[in-house]
Amino acid sequence: MRRYAAVAVISTRMDEILFIRRRENPNDPWSGDIAFPGGRKVGEDRHLLDTVYREVLEEVGIELDKLDVEPILIGVFSPLSFPDYKVYAYNFWIDDRVEASQGEEVDGIFWISPHSLEKGRCLRLIRFRNVVRDVDCYMSGELVIWGMTYRILKKFLDTFYF
């Protein structure tokens, strides 16, 4: 069964990108990871933009649909462990940082400059089949961005920055 989700790459004209740390949850395979705000499409969502607007509001308190911004589709991604899961990544360019507040599923909100990201290789546990692999990542201080978030960020940076 194919499932759909949407995430928001919220970036400012001052070169900052919004990230969240997902709250620890034993039922969440990405628990504790650094990610973009977003989530699964549910029955009342007419389309994936409804999904991303609802999820961003729930997770970081930002009403994207009230801002004067046009979403740009970065691409469609799948977690390597769930290839039938289709995640639509949208970029939202905003002029300046907006006030963000942590929702129940979020343990931290971070604005990070793309120019501060260090690309590297990290040793990470891939939860699917419990295989330990060396994977590409970006780092900003103690924060490690890997997996599907890394792939979305890389495409975003390759398209708009580098």
| Number of CB atoms found within 10 A of residue 34's CB | 25
Q: Which of the two residues, 83 and 3, has the higher pLDDT score?
A: 3
Which range has highest mean pLDDT (8-17, 77-86, 119-128)? Answer: 8-17
CATH number, position 11: 3.90.79.10
Percent of the chain clearing pLDDT 90 (strictly above):
69
> What pLDDT, on a 0 to 100 scale, did the predictor assign at position 55?
97
Lowest mean pLDDT, pick from 44-58, 71-85, 119-133, 148-162: 119-133
What total of structural domains would you count in the chain? Answer: 1
Please indicate, yes or no, if residue 92 is contained in any of the structural domains.
Answer: yes
Express each pLDDT in 41-77 by its tens digit.
999 999 999 999 999 999 999 999 999 899 999 999 9
Q: How confident is the model at residue 135 (pLDDT cuts 50, 70, 90)?
A: confident
- Of 69, 73, 59, 76, nearest to 95 by C-alpha is 69
- State mean pLDDT over 74-81: 91
Please indicate, yes or no, if residue 136 is contained in any of the structural domains.
Answer: no
> What pLDDT, on a 0 to 100 scale, did the predictor assign at position 121?
78
Q: Tell me the three state secondary structure of residue 105.
A: coil
pLDDT at 132 over 80: no
Q: How confident is the model at residue 118 (pLDDT cuts 50, 70, 90)?
A: confident
Please indicate, yes or no, if residue 144 is contained in any of the structural domains.
Answer: no
Please indicate, yes or no, if residue 131 is contained in any of the structural domains.
Answer: no
Chain center to CA of 20: 7
Please indicate, yes or no, if residue 138 is contained in any of the structural domains.
Answer: no
Contact 12, 96 (CB under 8 A): yes
Full residue range of the structural domain in which residue 109 is found: 3-116
Please indicate, yes or no, if residue 128 is contained in any of the structural domains.
Answer: no
- State mean pLDDT over 68-93: 93
CA–CA gap between residue 29 and residue 119 (Å, rounded): 24
Please indicate, yes or no, if residue 96 is contained in any of the structural domains.
Answer: yes
Q: How far apart are the first and last CA of the chain?
A: 37
> What pLDDT, on a 0 to 100 scale, did the predictor assign at position 75?
97
